[in-house]
Structures are given as structure tokens and as C-alpha cells.
Chains A and B, each alone.
Chain A
Amino acid sequence: MRFAFTDDQLLFRDAVADLLAKECPPDVVRGAWDDETGRRPELWAALAEMGVVGLTVPEAHGGFGLSELDLLPILTETGRFAFPGPLLETTAVAAPLLAENASADIAQRWLPGIASGEVVATVALAGQPFVPDAQLAHVLIAQRDDRLVAVATDRLRLTPETSVDGARRLSRADWDVADEALIIDGEPGWRAANRAFDRGAVAASAQLLGLAEHLLAVTVEYVAARKQFGVPIGTFQAVKHHLADCELKLSFARPLVARAAYSLAHDLPTIERDTSAAKAMASDAAAFVARQALQCHGAIAYTVEYDVHMWLKRIWALTAAWGDAAWHRRRVAHLLLDD
């Protein structure tokens, strides 16, 4: 028994965090709100260069062939820096889905490009109708009932949707059936789609943890410095208790998220239950931290000049995506209570 990440996993995470600290400061996130594609290709290339984008791509296709557990701490860092870009869709969901289910032709068409950073993938599963970054992706992995298909994005008709998070570029995607390449269907198709959904939910949970940890850290810094009534507001017990509760909720969401990644990596029969426990708890914790961070900052956090709002909005987006807390609690209830 050892419930902790390995030294290698943490070293890799630290290296990614260093890169993001340098290449993805808040003004880059802000830039993702404003410029036309909303993305910096050189940042994606730098992550690919490190092996992050291709982390889950099998070695035979040029990736690292690593697991959900190896990816998890990195996803948390991309959350912490509010990294803009479909790493979740490409690396956490699309790559393993293709690796496990696609024919040699389809796998060879997309996976080496994902590993090298030249191909960006995104996904549209049932229940996930709003596709992130379809405007810059090369391939969409989509679910139609029991069918999972790959469609080159130049064959898509995109209808833009507007997320509360300006750095999330969402669309609805439509295409002609003739343009699809079938990956898998039937009963195995359902299973593959469910597994992909669980991977997305766990990855979103990991990002929510990082987003919330960042917000808590900047709030702690703020209340220690900000004075009212002649003393730092961080000396007030009401403020202390808000922030202690943030740490409390994060501390007990973290192990559930790690456990869900473990279940995915080891293909355990409890994947659905563990995923839903993790996403319910991570969503609730992050939403709570967002709420308290705003409250403890006061009016400054209510302005768009101040960076905090970008983290708040990413949290609101990701708590809604990949099943919200209530949806996942209902799934846990179903698995526990209906037999």
C-alpha cells in the first residue's frame, strides 16, 4: 500500500509547472480571451516537446505510453495556471481512446501527430455537446449513440457557443456521415464512450483542484496583506474560517481524484463510482473556493482588470462540464442503492 505519487511523477509535474510559470503567466491567459484563435501554438509546442501532449500516446506511435496516474498531477498544474488549450480533450481523452479502440489505420493517421504536437484533437461525447477548441483542432472524436467516430475538423460545420470563460472556445459541431471514420460501435462502443467520459471527468476534476489551489493561495496572500480597521483582514476569525474551510474541502477532494485516476489506470470495476465521487467532490470544493475567494477579496475580485475572475470563470465552466456535482452524486447513488 502506498497512496502517493512517485518521485518521478512529481518531478515531471514540477518541470511542467516551471514551464507554465514561465510561458503561461496570467497575461497569456488574458490573451486567450482576446486574440482570434485564442491560443498560442508555441506554448502547445513547448508542452509537446516535453512529452506532455503525447504522454498517453503509446510508445509505438511516438508517445510516452504513460497512464492516467502519470497525467493527473500535470493536469492539476494546467489548472493551477489556467492553461488555455485542449490538453484534457487531446491527451486525457482522445489519445487513449484512439490507442485502445482505433484500427491501425486510424491510429496511425492521428496518434503520431498528437505525440509530436502537430495534431490537436478534441471530443464531443453524449452529454458533452459543446466542443472545446474545434476551431483549431485537426480531428474530432465524437459519439453518436453507440458509435465513436473520428472526423477531420475541416469537414465539420461549427456553430460557435459562448462560454462564461472567454478562454474556452466552444462550438457545436455537425458533419456529414460520409466524412466519418468509424472507430468502434455496438456494445464495445458504449463501453469505450463511457470510459472516455470517465477519463474526461477525472481530468476535469484534476484541473479544478489546481484552479482552486491557485485561488486559495492568492486569497491567502491577499488577506494577509490587505488592511482594514488597522489590521490585516486575515487576522479576522470570520475570514480565517472561510479559508480553513477551503483547505478542508480541497484536502478531502484530492484523495478521491487520485483514487479515481488509479482505478482508471488499473481498469478496476469501481471506475464509474470512483470517477463520480471524485468529480462531485472536486466540483463542490472548487465552487466553494471560488465563492470564498471572491468574498475575501471583496470588490477588487469583482473587476475584470484583476486576474482572479479568469480562475473563477474556468471553475464555473469545468464544474458544469463532464457532469456537474449533482449528476455525479446521482450516479453514485444509483451504483450504491439500486441493485
Chain B
Amino acid sequence: MDLNFTDAEEAFRAEARAWLEANVPHGLPSGDTREGFDLHVEWEKKLFDARWSVVSWPEEYGGRGATLWEWLIFEEEYYRAGAPQRVTQNGIFLLAPTIFEFGTDAQKSRFLPAMAAADDLWCQGWSEPDAGSDLAGIKSRAVRDDAAGGWRISGQKTWTTRGAFCNWLFGLFRTDPEAERHKGMTYLMVPLDADGVTVRGVGRLDGDEGFAEVFFDDVFVADDLVLGEVDQGWGVAMATTSSERGLTLRSPGRFCAAADRLVDLWKRRSALAASGDPAAVAAGDPALREDVAQSWIDAEAYRLATLADVTGIVEGRPQGARSSLTKIFWSELDVRLHETALALLGPSAELVDDSPSAVDGGAWMKGYQFSLSGPIYAGTNEIQRNVVAERVLGLPRK
């Protein structure tokens, strides 16, 4: 066991830290709003220009060929610097690994650099009105058009994060309606400016506009936009969802940074309470002190578990179904971190946005609402617990 990074890795960290400190924007509006999205894209273009947008990718696609350890270091520094969550994450963290694994050379050179540069902006089209975590229940269809050399798709996707602002969508479409549930689906990449696409924004619990419903009315998708084999989309999609639950999307940097902010919040509230401010009295509650400590312990546990997972991946022991454990843990950790912060805030907890007395601009309530989506998306935690029981512990399915 060796928990030290090499000199080269530390040099990589120092370079990343210096660049981020000099360049990270602060106080951007949410990337899930129209005006915020554009500012976030501008920030991510800057990241790309300095070659920090996709550090682990090969240089030919705009990356640095960084190792998994260096990637982890970069993520840690990214969140430590207070940089915002990536609005390009669906493409970079979910679609890209799938293109690397299943894409043709032509697809790689067409899509990867444009994605890294934040020129193509991707959203994912998994959920449908009658199929959320039951992904195999999707109904949107793609019908063969031999004459045109492609597919004509019809149907509806929903809960599409940032769908209203993106120009590309990837998702599953049923190409063989006669096949069994998990078969007969094809993974397609769909330009959202194509004829027959209608995107309608849907307001979210946390007040942002980022959700969208996407309607497809006889939309043409050429053959070169099929990722992987026709009718084999389930297997392709499973590779993607495993990235989503696993470590690529939820690097520990984000939760460690949030735990550090919680510790800082406790100290500020405690100082206020000591000065006699009755609004901060919650900071003196010993149970809350323990909650703050436990949140910090949980974030540390998540960081260390990730180090163990990365060690395993580097040594050829992939996570497999254990990625479901990761997903349950980080999503529930995120909720607990915010619940603890709200408890510390007492009566101030309900204040949001530019309310004059809001603490940290109301970020904790906003973050709390956002955290509540974690146990729902990427397969609900109930589904993940079934996966753990059946595929990690080996309990009978039926």
C-alpha cells in the first residue's frame, strides 16, 4: 500500500492548481439556465484551449493522455478551486467512453474533438414518459429507411437534462419491436436541429429550466450515427450507465470540497453563535457537530473507496456491478451533506437567491434540492439496491 503520488503526478497537480487558481470563474449563474449555460460553455471552451477539458483523452482528440490517477488529481483540484460542475459532462463522461469503446474511427474523429471543445453539446435521451429506471421499457421507435441509408425515429424522450440548450442527443431507440425487452434496441446519436425534432423546456424543482421533453416526428438519422451494432444498443448503453454510476461522473473531489465547505460553514456559524447571534444557535448543538463530523468521514470514505477502485481498474479488476454501491453512496452522501448544512443554518435555511439575508447566496438550499435528484437519476437507488443484492451478493432474482 502506498498512498503517495509520484513526483510527476505532484507536478501535474501543481500545474493544474496554478492554472485553475488563475482562471476559474466565480459566481457564474447556474449552468442549467439559459443565460448560465452560455457562460458555462464559454468557461469550458477556455478549459479546452488550455487542454484541461478532457485530460485523460489521447492528445489527438484534445486531451493530455493523462493516467487515471492524474485524472483523479485533476478532478480534486478542479473542485478544490471552486470550479463549477461541467455542463458538457453528459457528452464527455457518458457518451465519450462509449464512443471510445464502440465508435468507428470516423465517429471518433467527428465527435470527440468537437465535444471536447464544447462545440457539440450533448444531452442524453434515456428516460421516456413510461420508462425511467425501467430503461428496457422504452417505446420510441426507429424504422429502417433503406433508400435514404438511415433510420426514421418517432417518439418522445423526457427529463432530458439541459436538453433545451444542447444540439445533440444520444439515446436508445427500438429498432425491432418484435424482439424481447432487452433486445431490438439501437443506440443512436441525433442532431437536435434536424427536421421533426421539437424540444420543450420543463421547469425543475430547484427553479432551473434545464429539463426538457424532446419529441421526434419522423426524424431522419443517417447510418453513420448508429453507435455499435444495430439492435445491440442495450449492451452499448449498459457500458454508458456503468460509467455514470461509477467513478467517471462523480469524482470524489466534488464531495470532499462540499464536506470542506460544510466544515467552514460550521466554523462561521459557530463564531456567529459565540457573538450572541440567535440565528446561529444551531451551531452549538452537539448532535449537529457529530453530523458535520460524520459527513466529513463519509466524504473521506468515498475518496478512499475511489482510490481502491482506481487501483483495481489499473490492475485489471474492474468494478462491475459494484458501481451500483458507489452510486447509492455518493448520492445519499450529497443529500446528507446538504441536510446538515440546512440544519446549521436554522431559520436562514429557507432563503435563496438574492434574498438579502441568504447565507452563501442560498447555495445550500439550492444544492439540497439538486442533491435530491441524485437518488433518482441514473437508475433510482431502489434499482441500484436490487442490482447490489442480485449481482454483488448473489440473491435470487425470482
Which residues of A does B touch, CB under 8 Å? Answer: 1-6, 69, 216, 220, 223-224, 231-232, 234-235, 237, 239-241, 243-245, 247-248, 251-256, 258-259, 262, 277, 280-281, 326, 329-330, 332-333, 336-337
Q: For B325, what are the chain A residues with a Cβ–Cβ distance below 8 Å?
A: 247-248, 251-252
| Chain B, 256-287, CB within 8 A of any chain A CB | 263, 266-267, 270, 286
Interface residues on B, range: 35 or more
Q: How does the 8 Å CB contact mask read for B387-398 relative to A, with 1 for contact and 0 for none?
A: 011101111111
Closest to A2 in B: B2
| Min CB gap B341→A, angstroms | 14
Q: Is B180 an interface residue (CB 8 A)?
A: no
Interchain CB contact (< 8 A) of A234 among B286, B292, B384, B396: B396
Contact A336 B388 (CB under 8 A): no
| Interface residue stretch chosen among B131-139, B158-166, B297-305 | B297-305
A3 to B72, CA, bound (A): 14
Q: How far is the CA of A69 from the CA of B2 in the complex (A)?
A: 11
Residues on B with C-beta less than 8 A from A337 are 263, 266-267, 270, 289, 292-293
Minimum Cβ distance to chain A for residue B305 (Å): 5
B396 touches A235 (CB 8 A): yes
B64 at the interface (CB under 8 A from A): no
B294-324, CB under 8 A of A: which get 1 and which 0? 1011101110110110111001000000100
Across-interface contacts of B267 in A (CB, < 8 A):
337
Within the complex, which residue of A220, A240, A245, A336 is in contact with B296, where a contact is CB–CB below 8 Å?
Answer: A336
**Cross-chain contact A253 with B301 (CB below 8 angstroms):** yes
Does B229 touch A at the CB level, under 8 Å? no
Interface residues of B (CB under 8 A from A): 1-6, 9, 69, 263, 266-267, 270, 286, 289-290, 292-294, 296-298, 300-302, 304-305, 307-308, 310-312, 315, 322, 325, 328-329, 382, 384-386, 388-390, 392-398
Which of A69, A235, A243, A277 makes the CB contact (< 8 A) with B1?
A: A69
Rounded to whole Å, the gap between the CB of B195 and the closest CB of chain A is 44
- Could you pull out 23 A-B pairs where Cβ atoms are within 8 angstroms? A1-B310, A1-B311, A2-B1, A3-B1, A3-B3, A220-B395, A224-B395, A224-B396, A232-B396, A235-B395, A237-B382, A240-B390, A241-B389, A244-B328, A244-B385, A244-B386, A244-B392, A247-B392, A255-B307, A262-B1, A281-B301, A329-B293, A337-B263
B312 to chain A: which residues have CB within 8 Å? 4
Chain A residues with Cβ below 8 Å from B315 are 4
Known contacts A244-B392, A248-B388; 8 further A-B pairs (Cβ under 8 A): A3-B311, A4-B308, A220-B395, A232-B396, A243-B393, A252-B329, A330-B289, A337-B266
User: Bound state CA distance, A241 and B328, in angstroms?
Assistant: 12
| Docked complex Cα distance between A237 and B381 (Å) | 12
A99 shortest CB reach to chain B, Å: 21
* Residue pair B3, A336 in contact (C-beta under 8 Å): no
Tell me the complex Cα distance, A336–B289, Å. 10
Q: Which of B1, B390, B396 has the most chain A CB atoms inside 10 A of its CB?
A: B1
Chain B residue at smallest Cβ distance from A284? B294
Residues of chain B within 8 A (CB-CB) of A259 are 3, 300, 304
Assess the A240–B1 pair: CB atoms within 8 A.
no
The minimal Cβ–Cβ distance linking B81 to chain A, given in whole angstroms, is 21
Contact partners of B292 in chain A: CB under 8 A: 333, 336-337
The complex places the Cα of A258 from the Cα of B301 at a distance, in Å, of: 11
